[in-house]
Amino acid sequence: MENYMRTLSGRRTAGAAATTLTACALLAATALPASAMTVTFIRHGESYGNATNKIDTSIPGPDLTPKGEGQADAVAAYLTSPAYTDKYGPVDAIYASTMVRTQETAKPLSTDLNLPVTVIGYPKNSDAGERIGVQEISAGIFEGLPEQTGIGRIGYIVAPLAWTLGLQFVPVPGGETGLEFNERMNNSMKQIEADTPAGEDGNQNAAVFSHGATIMFWTMMNVDNPNLLLIVQHPLTNGDVVVVDENADGGWTLKSWAGEEVGPANYPTQMFVNVRDLIVAPQQAVYNMRVPALTPDPAAIVSTGAQGVQDVAKAGVKFVKDSVTDTVNAITSIPNALNDVTPATHTLNTDSAPATKLTSSTDGDAAKVIRKVNGATNLTAGNKAPSGKGASVARQRVRDTVKKLTNAGKTTNSGSHSTSKDAA
């Protein structure tokens, strides 16, 4: 019986130890930081479409010009330089769109790093619910029009600008809507994250060679610190680089735009993002209904509709929560901001020396005030005195003045005797 109890006790002890070790292992696993994801977008070098000032979003599209090839070499040099790697780490994988100009721009970096270029966009560009690709935004009816002037330049970006404000249902006439564009881009980002290995620093850094409008508008549609003025004031030129980081909640933060560092969102921007995300939610819910509706699948329609209702409700809750949090943070940061402001003061520095006292003559002459500023009395030539001795000098001058006045009076009263004495 005693042996049995010892055996049972040993088993219980071993079981408890195993449970403790398992719990510790799970705790350690959850405590380990997840690898950070950085995506570096690069606009392709100059293409023959750019050189001829024509909008060309066709696939595979035109090649790079000799100038564009030089820009590709410059991009490779920058992405392998300490100016880039010290900030974001080395590139771990390279991706390009289905258009030739991005693949040609990626080639020098691929050669320098001995990494393959993975083309994003095949074979699911047209399947409902499976769109994927980082190719340029379809120009629709504006295809072939001048890129820098006229109706082509304005008309092509009207719909994408509406997307950045949350109106993703708006289509480019003859092209894609913001919902379709965002779907293929987000699917691309998921594939990039899944396929990019972590580097020696434990982080993932993917270089994605894409297109000007695609990079600019997807970034402003999805990051939590958008600055829409950048699109107008600093549109991306050939070879420009944009860096975004993935957040813990799966969102994105803009880190740099064409070499310009971008800081966190201020309060107005935070509220704009909250409203934007709230507006997008019902549009996304309706858009998701097209997949079961095209089948058609009644059960899928019901489940997708129910999921859409839940997503819209969650978006509403998130809007309230984020708005309250952002507002509270903004209010509580006001005292700190005020403390950082140094009030302007006007100080008279007297170097700790006492101010000179009022001194009057013993005969009732007018008093004189000598004010000592910055530790020294302002003395005229012939009346020098060491710093801090202005009061004694003043007294002496008063005594001398009184004495002179007294002597002058005596001389005047003495009449001729005084005159003869002076002549002698």
Q: Is 43 within 8 Å of 78 (Cβ atoms)?
A: no
Task: Give 75's contacts (C-beta < 8 A, 6+ positions apart).
Answer: 42, 45, 105, 108, 109, 239, 241
Identify each DSSP E strand in 19-138 by its residue range. 37-43, 93-96, 117-119
Assess whether 136 carries a catalytic annotation. Answer: yes
Assess whether 44 carries a catalytic annotation. Answer: yes
The 10 Å Cβ neighbour count of residue 104 is 20
The number of CA neighbours under 13 Å toward the Cβ of 269 is: 17
Query: Which of the following is catalytic: 136, 147, 180, 246?
Result: 136
What strand order describes the sheet that includes 252-257?
117-119, 93-96, 204-210, 37-43, 241-246, 252-257, 260-261
**Residue type for 45, please?**
G
Q: Is 209 within 8 Å of 93 (Cβ atoms)?
A: no
φ, ψ dihedrals at 239, nearest 5°: 90, 0
State the helix-helix crossing angle for 66-79 and 100-113, rounded to 10 degrees.
40
Peptide bond into 343 cis (omega under 30): no
3-state secondary structure 315-378: HHHHHHHHHHHHHHHHHHHHHHHHHCCCCCCCCCCCCCCCCCCCECCCCCCCCECCCCECCECC
User: Which residues does the annotation mark as catalytic?
Assistant: 44, 136
